[in-house]
């Protein structure tokens, strides 16, 4: 199982085949989408930037994780919380490890 720390980079790696999408257990992300409509809007923005090489596949993967409750967004509870990606790799070995990299921003 894979535990991601970045929605944009983790989904990008899955779409490119670098990792197997079915191995993603969850992604702890610094995004702040309060509902599916906001998440779709965020995905559409990512399709024009981070996911430009494979936008439809990336969006499909992201929405699948959303629909199964596998997107964790700590900023929904604390707006100043985010992933310290400059200190940690994008993949963690457990949910706990993925959460450990959160910091006040």
Domain membership of residue 84 as a residue range? 2-104
pLDDT in tens, 49-76: 999 999 999 999 999 999 999 999 988 8
Number of domains composing the chain:
1
pLDDT in tens, 13-61: 999 999 999 999 999 998 999 999 999 999 999 999 999 999 999 999 9
Residue with tokens 């079915």: 22
Question: Cα-flanking dihedrals φ and ψ of residue 81, to 5°?
Answer: -95, 135
Which residues are CB-neighbours of 101 under 8 A, at least 6 positions away?
Answer: 5, 28, 83, 84, 85, 87, 88, 92
Taking the C-alpha atoms of residue 77 and residue 6, their distance in angstroms, rounded to an integer, is 18
User: Would you say residue 86 has pLDDT above 70?
Assistant: no
């Amino acid at each position: 199982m894979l535990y991601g720390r970045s929605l944009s980079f983790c989904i990008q790696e899955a779409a490119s085949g670098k990792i197997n999408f079915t191995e993603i257990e969850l992604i702890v992300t610094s995004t702040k989408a309060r509902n599916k409509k906001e998440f779709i809007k965020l995905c559409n923005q990512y399709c024009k930037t981070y996911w430009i090489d494979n936008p439809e596949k990336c969006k499909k993967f992201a929405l699948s994780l959303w629909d199964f409750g596998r997107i964790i967004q700590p900023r929904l509870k604390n707006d100043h919380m985010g992933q310290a990606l400059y200190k940690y790799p994008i993949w963690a070995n457990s949910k706990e490890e993925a959460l450990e990299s959160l910091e006040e921003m």
